[in-house]
Chains A and B, each alone.
Chain A
């Protein structure tokens, strides 16, 4: 347990070890660890970013789906409206057409009535004459009685 030169030997050994550690051990190890730390931090950062991107993409997708749905609903509504308007239009057209046909028919009927009346008017004088001849047993001069006959025909 004597103090002797060992103390200097130990000091020198100690200093050499510390120097070696400072030169060849510590910087290399700390460097590797710092590098890894940086890498991990970058990785975490990237993961974070990806997460944010995903959220954004999801939001975007939801927005787009909502927009598409809205558009689809609008289109359906428009189509419905169009269909109703077409039906209305056709009803209207049909009504008008019906009216027109009806009017045409009426005109035809009127025309035919008047035609039949004209025909009848033409024939009424001869019919009336032949009837009167039969009754009177004599022939009647058409020209002498023309005025009366015309009056009769116009009364029809």
Chain B
């Protein structure tokens, strides 16, 4: 890069700052902080730099991810709850017809993908879809608005504030592993522990009774195949959503960089942001939809009792 060294650093800083969550975690005693002070005793504190957040390791919370997640979920569920409470059987109006449209859409989807009796899967799908949609939707707000507002409000110019929870792998993997846990729970509940184990060991290859000794070779093979297949489900579920939203966020941040690079590039950046935004309007519901559909499909697999014959 031809420009002077300092500007490169600030550009990298800008990007890094935007990709750092507001981390509240535990630092060990004697830790040298970003401003040079030393932690006298180990304790919980807000991270002032990415390095500090890194050092906190597992013992930390992303306040922005959790906070926005809860706020958005509560907004959605509050609206749903109010509609459900005041819903009339007669002509639905306004918000009620919108919510009913959504419920009907989800219900149809679940009926199509999930052929078992459960009063859990449809509400799960509705929650997943609406919540992920809301979290993704935060991506459409220009990247600097809310972080800047938070910085002004708190008076801390270095406050980390990421407003899109789905660009945090903690959020997406948290949801994906919850889905995974539910899968295992329903698998064992529907097929029994033995049935679940059989599903992992006797599929897809199983020798008939008269050649039972072949199973000694086949079972380990099946276990490797099935367990990796099982584990791939939550990983792909969570990483797909995270990857899509994170990449989009990075592109928004890169586009936002052009605003500080003169009038021409700024205008070009505006145009790029608009087009990326319009494209993103498609991605936001699509990713929420994919997450919902896969959740329902995985639930269907968990309920599926296909190896009754063995």
Once bound together, how far apart are the Cα atoms of A15 and B90, in whole Å? 33
Segment from B100-108, B187-195, B198-206 that makes contact with A: B100-108
Provide the main secondary structure of the chain A interface.
helix
Whether the pair A8, B127 counts as a contact (CB closer than 8 A) is: no
Q: Known: A26-B123, A29-B99, A32-B88. Contact between A14 and B58, CB under 8 A?
A: no
Chain A interface extent, by class: 20 to 34
Segment from A17-25, A82-90, A95-103 that makes contact with B: A17-25
Q: Of B60, B107, B126, B181, which is within 8 A of A2 by CB?
A: B60
Question: Beta-carbon contacts of A105-126 to B below 8 Å, as 1s and 0s?
Answer: 0000000000000000000000
Tell me, yes or no, whether B186 is within 8 Å of chain A by CB.
no
Whether the pair B170, A4 counts as a contact (CB closer than 8 A) is: yes
Chain B interface extent, by class: 35 or more
Tell me, yes or no, whether A39 is within 8 Å of chain B by CB.
yes
Segment from B1-9, B77-85, B253-261, B301-309 that makes contact with A: B77-85
**Which residues of chain A are within 8 angstroms of B89 by Cβ–Cβ distance?**
32, 35-36, 39
Whether the pair A8, B169 counts as a contact (CB closer than 8 A) is: no
Tell me, yes or no, whether A136 is within 8 Å of chain B by CB.
no
Q: Of A13, A20, A30, which is within 8 A of B69 by CB?
A: A13
Question: Which positions 153-171 of chain B face chain A at CB distance < 8 Å?
Answer: 165, 168-171
Among residues of A, the one whose C-beta sits closest to the C-beta of B103 is A29
Whether the pair A7, B177 counts as a contact (CB closer than 8 A) is: yes
Whether the pair B80, A2 counts as a contact (CB closer than 8 A) is: no
A10 CB, min distance to chain B CBs, angstroms: 3
Tell me, yes or no, whether B61 is within 8 Å of chain A by CB.
yes
Among residues of A, the one whose C-beta sits closest to the C-beta of B76 is A17
**Which residues of chain A are within 8 angstroms of B104 by Cβ–Cβ distance?**
33
Tell me, yes or no, whether A81 is within 8 Å of chain B by CB.
no
A32 CB, min distance to chain B CBs, angstroms: 4
Once bound together, how far apart are the Cα atoms of A36 and B91, in whole Å? 9
Whether the pair B58, A11 counts as a contact (CB closer than 8 A) is: no
Whether the pair A9, B61 counts as a contact (CB closer than 8 A) is: yes
Among residues of A, the one whose C-beta sits closest to the C-beta of B170 is A6
Tell me, yes or no, whether B184 is within 8 Å of chain A by CB.
no
Selected A-B contacts with CB under 8 Å, 30 pairs: A2-B53, A2-B54, A3-B169, A3-B173, A5-B59, A5-B60, A5-B61, A6-B21, A7-B173, A8-B174, A10-B69, A10-B170, A13-B66, A14-B127, A14-B178, A18-B120, A18-B124, A18-B128, A22-B124, A24-B81, A25-B77, A25-B84, A28-B84, A29-B80, A29-B100, A30-B107, A32-B84, A32-B87, A33-B104, A36-B90
Q: Interface of A with B (CB < 8 Å)?
A: 1-11, 13-15, 17-18, 20-22, 24-30, 32-33, 35-36, 39
